[in-house]
Amino acid sequence: MFVIDTSDRELMRAQFRSFSKHIPLLYIILVINTAAIVITSFRLEHYEKTLIVPAIISSFALARAVWWSRQKNADHLSDEQISAYLRRTCVLAAVQSLTFTLWAIWVYQGLDAFGRSNVTFFLALSQVSTVFCLMTLRVAANLVALVSTVSFALYFSWIDDAQLLPQAIVLCCVCLGMTVIIQGYNHSFTELVSSRRSLHQRQIETEKLSHENRRIAFTDALTGLPNRRELLERLDLLEHKQDVADDSLAVVFIDLDGFKEINDEHGHQSGDQLISSVAQRLRQQCPKGARIARVGGDELAVLIEVDDPGKSANAQAITLASVLLKEASLPITIDRHVLQVGASIGVAANNSDAIAPRELLRRADMAMYHAKTSGKGQVALYSEGLDEGRLHRLEIEAQIVNGLAREEFEIEYQPIVGATSRHITGVEALLRWPQRPEGPLPPDQFIEIAESTGQIHPIGLYVLTKACCDLKGIEGVTLSVNVSPAQFRHPNFEQQVLKILEQTGFPPERLQLEITESYLLSNPERAFQAVAALKAQGIALALDDFGTGFTSIHYLQSYGFNHIKIDKSLTSDLAQQHKARRLVEGAIIMASALDIDVTAEGVENAQQADILEHVGCQCLQGYYFGRPMALTKLHHVIRQQDRSLRPAGKRAAG
Ligand code: C2E
Ligand code: CA
Ligand code: CA
């Protein structure tokens, strides 16, 4: 009851704050009561009693009131200072209360009954109000109650032969009651402070949690970079910003080339590691003020914000794009494999009229798409024309989905003849889309789109299945089917091919798959494995479009191709250009040394056919021998050929 608890600093400060507000009021009440007693006792003409002592008490009270009214803010006070003030307040409260009570008793003695009752009233009043004002500082309130009650009660029980004893007892009871109230009030006050404290604590924890949630929601878990959501939020924020200057914002959109292949061949774990490493490397290349975010599987975007009006965001973005392009294509070692990807990068800036920041992201994405579809490994800048190209591709993409569902695709077969015999020894299956509602579309214009969307897988399986069924009955004729690099990369490709052969009953020795060299160069390990597995089943492999790439003898040899197909661009130049002729001759010599047969594509006239036959080409293919044709026509052509081949006697007999 009489000890100040300074262990709970927060409680101590709360006490200080609370009663520092009430103390000036307390002193003012004290001064008023003093004045009231002075007025009551002034006619005694005892100046020490009625003027000097009350003047001292009042001056001290006023001085304290002024001091306390300046202590409203306890924030600048240390805990030690506060605890010292609290102690001092307790001592002063006791001393002052005692002084006031003794003075009142002194005055009381010289007064008549009316004066005495006035003094008692004012004394009790000031005692009660003092106790209530000090209620938050329990010790001070208790001391005041005790000191003033005890001294007055003692005095009452001593004077006038203890006639005033009942009053003294009542006074003590009131004091006891007040003490109980003080205890209760203090208890509630302590609880209030501690519940406020725990509320505050909980608030801090909630804030921390929501901060953490936000961090997780806006961070990409794999790379630790900001994610798409965070980038979009930043772009939206910029959208609401006033006066975004022209050419102050730019987005660089990066999509990794060849990532899908690595994922397919080395597994997702390696893919993840690769993304993570590339992302870190690219981040290190980003200058200050550029934020990089992972916006998709293998897509990253950098937002460049330029504050300096003299600098161009577009120029910065272009410079950064070429740095990132180089950085992305450096080899990376993952699980002892040296892996390499590339990047297709798009750049867009708000260099002309007000462009919404989110639109910048779309534009940069569009430009990236353009970079990707026009050869990969390059940087493309956004221009309005790109939107149309993208739209066209999106339309075709949707049409392919419908086309597959409605069986709009068909296959035509182009004869391949022996160079010397000029008889059909094989056919190449070529995909057609005659029933497309918008009009037929040549394969050159949709195969590549189907490759980029993955639609080439169902298309490829359709072609192979249909062609095997169609050609099964035409014995002695080999079937060549084109296979896209994307199909070849599929981890189950070999199994899928074998399954189709089994289902259709087509003999593997009569099947030849044609593949372009681009895939072999970019994925030597996986290609090697696939070629070996297919060859083991008796399926022949042909290298398509030979002469347009860089295939080396080493490649031809190590993959064990059965065939190379000389590209039609070389064939068409044969008659006019010596160079083309020498190239074809060289290829044939090289191929025959490796025991590889050569087919020339695009033979359109007798002159080309003769030259090719002369230089040692084994097979010929081209409009001169037959355009790609429907199956029924192929049946007809082969029947005619068979008839012309039959010996004269047999023909007559037949
Ligand atoms: P490719 O494999 O080089 O096919 C040969 C292309 O040359 C065919 O074009 C054929 O019609 C054309 N051609 C044949 N002889 C001559 C000739 O004497 N002169 C000229 N100028 N051209 C000739 P097509 O059918 O338009 O096919 C284009 C490309 O589309 C093919 O090139 C092939 O890469 C791809 N393709 C066609 N069908 C399929 C398929 O089922 N799957 C895959 N993955 N690709 C296919
Ligand atoms: Ca081909
Ligand atoms: Ca070809």
Whether the pLDDT of residue 646 is over 80: the answer is: no
Q: Is 427 in the pocket of ligand 1 (CB under 6 A)?
A: no
Residue nearest to atom 43 of ligand 1 (CA): 482
Q: Provide the pLDDT for residue 353.
A: 62
**Which is more confidently placed, 352 or 34?**
34
Query: Is residue 324 within 8 Å of residue 343, measured between CB atoms?
Result: yes
Q: For 475-511, write each residue's pLDDT tens digit.
A: 999 999 999 988 887 888 999 999 999 999 999 999 9
Q: Provide the pLDDT for residue 523.
A: 65
Split at pLDDT 50, 70, 90, the class of 1 is low
Sheet with 342-349, edge to edge strand ranges: 290-296, 299-305, 249-257, 342-349, 379-381
What mean pLDDT is predicted for residues 262-286?
A: 92
Q: Is 612 in the pocket of ligand 1 (CB under 6 A)?
A: no
Q: Strand pairing of 511-516 and 540-546? A: parallel
Query: Ligand 1: which of 481, 482, 625 to mutate, most ligand atoms within 8 Å of CB?
Result: 482
Q: Provide the pLDDT for residue 172.
A: 84
What burial class does residue 4 get, using C-beta atoms within 10 Å of its C-beta: 0-12 exposed, 13-18 middle, 19+ buried?
middle
Whether the pLDDT of residue 288 is over 50: the answer is: yes
Q: Provide the pLDDT for residue 654.
A: 35
Share of the chain above pLDDT 90, in %: 51
Q: How far is the CA of 414 from the centre of ligand 1 (A)?
A: 9
Residues near ligand 2 ion, CB 5 Å cutoff: 482, 514, 544
Whether the pLDDT of residue 56 is over 50: the answer is: yes
Q: Provide the pLDDT for residue 521.
A: 64
Q: For 228-268, write each residue's pLDDT tens digit.
A: 999 999 998 888 887 788 889 999 999 999 898 888 888 88
- Separation CA 237–CA 231 (nearest Å): 10
Q: Give the ligand with the smallest distance to the CA of 480.
A: 2
Whether the pLDDT of residue 650 is over 50: the answer is: no
Split at pLDDT 50, 70, 90, the class of 223 is very high
DSSP state at residue 539: -
Q: For 425-451, write each residue's pLDDT tens digit.
A: 999 999 999 999 999 999 999 998 998
What burial class does residue 177 get, using C-beta atoms within 10 Å of its C-beta: 0-12 exposed, 13-18 middle, 19+ buried?
exposed
Q: For 363-400, write each residue's pLDDT tens digit.
A: 999 999 999 988 889 999 999 888 888 888 889 999 99
Q: Is 126 in the pocket of ligand 1 (CB under 6 A)?
A: no
Q: Is 628 in the pocket of ligand 1 (CB under 6 A)?
A: yes
Mean pLDDT taken over the chain: 89
Instruction: State phi, psi for 303 to the nearest 5 degrees.
Output: -100, 125
Three-state SS annotation for 575-609: CCCHHHHHHHHHHHHHHHHCCCEEEECCCCCHHHH
Q: For 545-558, write each residue's pLDDT tens digit.
A: 888 766 667 777 78
Split at pLDDT 50, 70, 90, the class of 648 is low
Q: Strand pairing of 299-305 and 249-257? A: antiparallel
Whether the pLDDT of residue 46 is over 60: the answer is: yes
Whether the pLDDT of residue 606 is over 70: the answer is: yes
In this structure, of 148-157, 564-573, 632-641, the range with the lowest mean pLDDT score is 148-157
Q: Provide the pLDDT for residue 653.
A: 39
Q: Provide the pLDDT for residue 385.
A: 87
What mean pLDDT is predicted for residues 5-34?
A: 85
Whether the pLDDT of residue 161 is over 80: the answer is: no
What mean pLDDT is predicted for residues 300-328?
A: 94
Q: For 461-474, write each residue's pLDDT tens digit.
A: 999 999 999 999 99
Q: Provide the pLDDT for residue 68.
A: 86
Q: How far is the CA of 444 from the centre of ligand 3 (A)?
A: 11
Residue nearest to atom 37 of ligand 1 (CA): 430
Residue 390, classed as helix, strand or coil, is helix
- Spell 545-579 as b/e; 16+ CB within 10 A means b: bbbebebeeebbeebebebbbbbbebbbbbeeeee
Q: How far is the CA of 430 from the centre of ligand 1 (A)?
A: 6
Instruction: State phi, psi for 621 to the nearest 5 degrees.
Output: -145, 135
Q: Provide the pLDDT for residue 600.
A: 96
Q: How far is the CA of 600 from the centre of ligand 3 (A)?
A: 9
Q: For 170-185, write each residue's pLDDT tens digit.
A: 888 888 888 898 888 8
Whether the pLDDT of residue 534 is over 60: the answer is: yes
